[in-house]
Amino acid sequence: MLTNNLFKRWTYKFFAPDLLQRGTYEAFRRLLEHDRRCHELIADFQDLFFKKQEPTEWTQVTALYDQLSEAVGAITKELTLISAREATDLSTYYKKFDSYIRFLLQPESNRTDPPYIICLGEPGMTTQLGGNKAKNLAEIYQNFDCSVPPGFAVTTNSWNSLVAYNDLRPAINSHLRTLDPEDNQSLLDTSNALISLIMSADIPPEVYQAIQDASHDLVTGLAAKTQTRFAVRSSAISEDGLNSFAGQYRSILNVDPEDVHHSYLQVLASKYTPSALLYRITAGISDTEASMAVLIIEMIKARAAGVIYTTDPKGDKQDTLFIHSVQGGGEKLVGGKARPHLSCFNKKELSPVKESGSKCPIDQEEAKKLARLAAGLEDFFGAPQDIEWAIGDGEPVILQSRPLKTIIPIQDADPENKVDKPDLPLLYHGGVTAAQGRGTGVACFLSTSPNPQDLPPDAILIVENIPASLIIFLSRCKAVISTMGSSASHFSTICRELGVPLIVEATDIKEKITHGEMITVDADSQNIYLGRTEDSSTAAGGPLSTGKNHPYFLRLQTILEFITPLNILDPEADSFVPESCRSFHDIVRFAHEKSVQAMFAIGKSGSRRGHRKRLETALPFDLYLITVDDDKENRKTTDDDTITIDQVESIPFRALWQGLTHPSI
């Protein structure tokens, strides 16, 4: 393309100089328009970093960059038509920076080839293929002495294959580009559209058959058991790692093997529920970086189930194991709808130290076995663990083990900022601390504010239960109080990640607080006060808490280093050359300056002489006019190097000049 432009330009220079001059002028006009657009887009990128306090949907960042790249590329093309010599090297630097930025914007290409299935007992289960949930369970299955349900993972390659087979990526990106996560209706509309896309998609034949074969093998291996059922669970790449995605994706239980393909699609589609979308965006993860694997395991008919924390997530009792247990399956516990029994064990001695809550659904010997397994899993993975377990007819079964996020207590993190007891009337004391911190705001009962936009920006949310889907309200919440739930629920994990104070098991809270009154919640002491404090909000934030050290902003900052800095300033300096460009801003600056110089040089030499005239004026500056029309026959020409305003035929310019020379100016 560059060679063609150069050849065309030199041909016009020798055989059609007037046509070249007009073409140069038109290219200059287009370049100025691209220049304006580039500066607008660069400013938009700066706003993403400096003005936005929350991450932006990454598809929108990519779309913004596509516009900027196109505009900068157009500038280099137009400069070729104006001053080919100056543009020769500039295009090379544009392509270099463009490749750097696209590498930072996009992950490695997602693979669509086999394996589509990996069994828990097989080698080769990685986070990239099976997600952290499946990888961790496979490591336990193969290397740790405990009971794990048999099963297999439908890999991320299968998800990528489904997206490619149905050509879904353009439609997915189109919906995500228009998503406004702060607008609940936009969130719901986008979610519904994307879920519909996935549920109406066809599973690629090779993936369908792989799931069919693996399901048949699993049923055959469980032939001794009657009425085999599956649990179909999410295992996304970004889940159960630095970001928990706790409760954001679906788990479908008691699935008939004949229905496994439909359940597989349902779990994939849960990637786009409103709460999952909001969580992913808040975490600063792009949609293509959150590829979904699905874990399919034997369904355990649980007599009791629960969650074990191998240390205190609040950072206090680090030598204690916390066993939360409920009767039956554990979904009501992690879903924030149950008050569990809590058994605490000394981690080193594996001896019970405390019990509380409802009636314990397991005996002391089973509790000791669970404590021993939990301590062993913490040693096995080398970090505190959040473990889901169940007990059916026999030994305890491990269903999941993921890293447990712990928070440094606020007073330990900064003793100088220790929060004093507020001098306010005490309204309520009770409940259990699920996420630390203090928040002041307006008491809001969820039943009276079903839409997040209906909440004030400083709401104290008061609810019956704490499902993980409540994340859509948290951007407007200073604290949350629940009459049910536990610190082992998925929503509690999210609040700790976001740094939102949370009190659970506040049984009679609605009798003590009036909707709309100003209150202060001190989750650490389980105290609620009437009124506002000066230190209105303190909380220990986890990986999802915002700030410029958030991974999203660090990534964006790296990208901006190739976009916004202006390094070449002085057009007269020897360093004002393409080789000195270090950013898109430099390229835009260089192209603008060189194009202006080229336009002022028109008419100085050769066949173009006579088209560039200096306007005679008493004003203290030189102004040169250039003829760019095609009407040679009627053009008024003169050999003089100057021209008077009476000789100018352009009506718009004469009007401009009349204003510039008005006596009042």
Residue 54 has pLDDT above 90, yes or no: no
Q: Exposed, middle or buried by CB within 10 Å (0-12, 13-18, 19+), for 166?
A: middle
Instruction: Give the separation between CA 475 and CA 182, rounded to whole angstroms.
Output: 9
Task: Give the pLDDT confidence score for residue 607 in this predicted structure.
Answer: 41
337-346, 356-365, 537-546, 636-645 — most confident range:
337-346
Residue 634 has pLDDT above 80, yes or no: no
Calculate mean pLDDT across residues 653-661. 89
* Region for 139 from its dihedrals, namely left if φ exceeds 0, alpha if ψ lies in -120 to 50, beta otherwise: alpha
Q: Cα 581 to the chain's mean position, in Å?
A: 31
Q: Give the model confidence (pLDDT) of 503-518 as tens digits.
A: 999 999 989 999 999 9
Select the more confidently predicted residue: 53 or 397.
397
Residue 14 has pLDDT above 50, yes or no: no
Kindly indicate the confidence band of residue 626, based on its pLDDT and cuts at 50, 70 and 90. confident
Catalogue the E-assigned strands of 541-662: 612-615, 624-626, 642-643
End-to-end CA distance of the chain: 48
Instruction: Give the separation between CA 352 and CA 368, rounded to whole angstroms.
Output: 8
Task: Give the pLDDT confidence score for residue 606 in this predicted structure.
Answer: 44
Instruction: Give the separation between CA 553 and CA 559, rounded to whole angstroms.
Output: 10
Read off the tokens for 289: 């970086």
Task: Give the pLDDT confidence score for residue 614 in this predicted structure.
Answer: 84
Task: Give the pLDDT confidence score for residue 410 in this predicted structure.
Answer: 46
H or E element at residue 192: helix 184-199
Calculate mean pLDDT across residues 146-150. 95
Single out the residue of 599, 583, 557, 502 nearest to residue 29, CA to CA. Answer: 599
Task: Give the pLDDT confidence score for residue 610 in this predicted structure.
Answer: 45
Kindly indicate the confidence band of residue 172, based on its pLDDT and cuts at 50, 70 and 90. very high
Calculate mean pLDDT across residues 100-123. 91
Encode burial over 568-589: b for 16+ CB neighbours within 10 A, e otherwise.
Answer: beeeeeeebebeebbbbbbbbb
Kindly indicate the confidence band of residue 273, based on its pLDDT and cuts at 50, 70 and 90. very high
Q: Cα 357 to the chain's mean position, in Å?
A: 38
Q: pLDDT above 90 covers what percent of the chain?
A: 70
CB atoms within 10 A of CB 487: 25
Q: Give the model confidence (pLDDT) of 206-248 as tens digits.
A: 999 999 999 999 999 887 666 789 999 999 999 998 889 999 9
Q: pLDDT above 70 covers what percent of the chain?
A: 88
Task: Give the pLDDT confidence score for residue 12 in this predicted structure.
Answer: 47
Instruction: Give the separation between CA 275 and CA 283, rounded to whole angstroms.
Output: 12
Select the more confidently predicted residue: 42 or 622.
42
Q: Exposed, middle or buried by CB within 10 Å (0-12, 13-18, 19+), for 631?
A: exposed
- Single-letter amino acid code for the residue at 545: S
Count CA atoms within 13 Å of residue 546 on its CB side: 14
Task: Give the pLDDT confidence score for residue 642 in this predicted structure.
Answer: 87
Task: Give the pLDDT confidence score for residue 144 in this predicted structure.
Answer: 93
Instruction: Give the separation between CA 572 and CA 28, rounded to whole angstroms.
Output: 21
Contact assessment for residue 595 and residue 79, using Cβ atoms and an 8 Å cutoff: yes
Calculate mean pLDDT across residues 321-330. 95
